[in-house]
Structure 1
């Protein structure tokens, strides 16, 4: 997806046949099992299955084009290096354009390979980036 473009609930013209969008997102969610590189984008698009817009559909098509262009991508675990575990976390203040709630995230790496990650909206609205970071520690 285009990283400079922020998707929103009311992003433009609503799709006439929303079941087509739901089927496509369901298939992409299934693909996330083997292609973890698309998981964030698919998660972002799955938030709009109740009322998808044409802009959401176009973003999902970009994911399909990416998948077609990169069939050899996936997870790689090296057997030569000593295993090193690294964890990174962050909080993004008021990141959700619809609810203005902050996002908390972490990612877990084994060597240079992503093993696990999570991004979730915080339960309450933070008044500052410091408060968002504090709530991320909960």
Structure 2
């Protein structure tokens, strides 16, 4: 998929070939399940630093002008959580994305503590909001 596209439920063209998209996603899932050496390499982080990134695109939806909050969390070099969600209300504030990533990082820290995984440093939170 081309990056940077703004899709609208009203003015967007339909996907030309949903079968191609489903086929690509299926192939990626098949590779992740059937190639244990790939899964092992991906799931062996060199470090256990917890880093969270968040972003809020102000009024990005052309239909209702609501913002979208995006976030992702890395454990070492591996992506362990990600989310993209339209905000419920119109807002110029980036605080919603920061609150979301803070809650997610806190939950992951709690989970890691419960399974006795030591995090060497405090988590890092980075925000790329342009409000």
Change (3 A) 1:5 1:90: closer
Q: Cα distance, 1:136 vs. partner? A: 3.0
Provide TM-score, normalisation by structure 2.
Answer: 0.54
Matches within 5 A, 1:1-138: 1-11=1-11, 55-56=14-15, 58=16, 60-67=18-25, 70=28, 71-73=30-32, 76-78=42-44, 81-126=46-91, 131-138=92-99
Provide TM-score, normalisation by structure 1.
Answer: 0.51
Counterpart secondary structure, 2:63: coil
Q: Cα distance, 1:96 vs. partner? A: 1.6
Tell me, yes or no, if the aligned pair for 2:71 and 2:97 is still in contact at 8 Å.
Answer: no
Change (3 A) 1:88 1:5: closer
Q: Which blocks of at least 5 consecutive residues in structure 1 are unaligned?
A: 13-53
- Of structures 1 and 2, the one scoring higher in RCO (CA 8 A, sep 6+) is 2
Provide the alpha-carbon RMSD of the alignment.
2.8
Q: Which blocks of at least 5 consecutive residues in structure 2 are unaligned?
A: 34-38, 100-131
Q: Cα distance, 1:92 vs. partner? A: 0.7
1:71-106 superposed Cα distances (whole Å, 9 cap, x missing partner): 535762125x23221111111111122211001121
Change (3 A) 1:2 1:101: same
Change (3 A) 1:10 1:110: same
Tell me, yes or no, if the aligned pair for 1:92 and 1:132 is still in contact at 8 Å.
Answer: no
